[in-house]
Amino acid sequence: MDLIEAADYHRRCLERLNRSPQTLRLYKIYEDSYLAYLHESCAPGDPPPPLSDLNPQFVREWQGWVRARSTGRRGGAATERQGVVVLKTWSRFLVDNDILPIDPLARLKVPRLAKIHRKPFTQDEARRLVQAASAGPNPIRDRALLLLLLDTGCRVGELCAADVGDVDLVEGAIVFRRTKNGNPRRVLFRVPTRRDGGPALQAVRNWLKVREARPGVDALFTTREQWPLSTRRVREIFTELGNVARVPNAIPHRCRHSAASEFLAQRPGAEIQLRSRLGQVSKAVLSDYISWSEPSQEEAASVASLSSRWNL
């Protein structure tokens, strides 16, 4: 068996294990990339690369090769790291299936990826983004989208996965069912001291009055074509609003940073409460530290409401 046959065998095994199309595509991209690198190094008419070509020396050389060809935002560093992870997994698979006697990449280190420190939005930046949304092509939807991200601190994927039925307009709460850690959570965003429930709740009410969707589409946020709003489209919306508002690096995740930093500024030391709202702590851990009652959640919602405190 040569490396080309080994890559094909690996992917066929993954298919039999019912791995997702995204996973299959990921392995195909990086394994084919490594094979393409080896092909460039061979002379015309050479036989297919043997299994021995999967070795640390060639992989290190491939890292520079693939990094130089990457078009990502981080200069190829993220592509290089993911590629090494895939090749190491492939190598272990070949050992587990008795194709290789030992794992040649066992001691190969995965490159470290420098952490990006994103700054939260300032009050002025948030106000300019909301003003840009109000003057944009879909002002009611985009205002609700912005304020809900700021007030709940949720991940953009969690919000895009939310359905209309996940929102309680009476209580002013939203349930995020599809979360990063798999644990659904309910987040209050109604401001109890305001008769209208606060800007975010009012914005969601206004959006639901005009929301249109195709039959069977229950997504909370939809496009002008009445399909569910994707995370990719939300990022594009933020980029467009950032260009209009002259807010650099306008990405949805900065809303999460804003919610976290402002919450702790108003309530120093309340890390467990914050992590509960953001979905970064399990219920078991939460119960060990604090009694997270409904009144305390309402109080936290008042503290966390940037749309109300910043008069958005």
Position 114 in a domain: no
Mean pLDDT computed over 244-257: 93
Q: Say if 105 falls within a structural domain.
A: no
Q: Per-residue confidence at 21, pLDDT binned at 50, 70, 90?
A: confident
- pLDDT of 229 over the 90 cut: yes
pLDDT averaged over every residue in the chain: 88
Whether residue 263 is found in the same domain as residue 144: yes
Task: Please give the share of the chain, as a percent, with pLDDT higher than 70.
Answer: 91
- How many domains does the structure of the chain reveal? 2
What are 29-83's pLDDT values in tens digits? 999 999 999 998 887 778 899 999 999 999 999 999 998 888 766 778 888 999 9
Q: List the CATH number of the domain containing 158.
A: 1.10.443.10
Question: Does 154 share its domain with 295?
Answer: yes
Specify whether 173 is located in the same domain as 302: yes
73 is a domain residue: yes
Domain encompassing residue 46? 3-96
Whether 294 shows a pLDDT value over 90: the answer reads no
Residue range 179-219, pLDDT digits in tens: 887 888 899 999 988 889 999 999 999 999 999 999 999 99
Do residues 61 and 182 share a domain? no
Please choose, from the candidates 108, 99, 105, 3, the residue with its C-alpha nearest in 3D space to the C-alpha of residue 48. 3
Residues 46 and 170 in one domain: no
pTM: 0.66
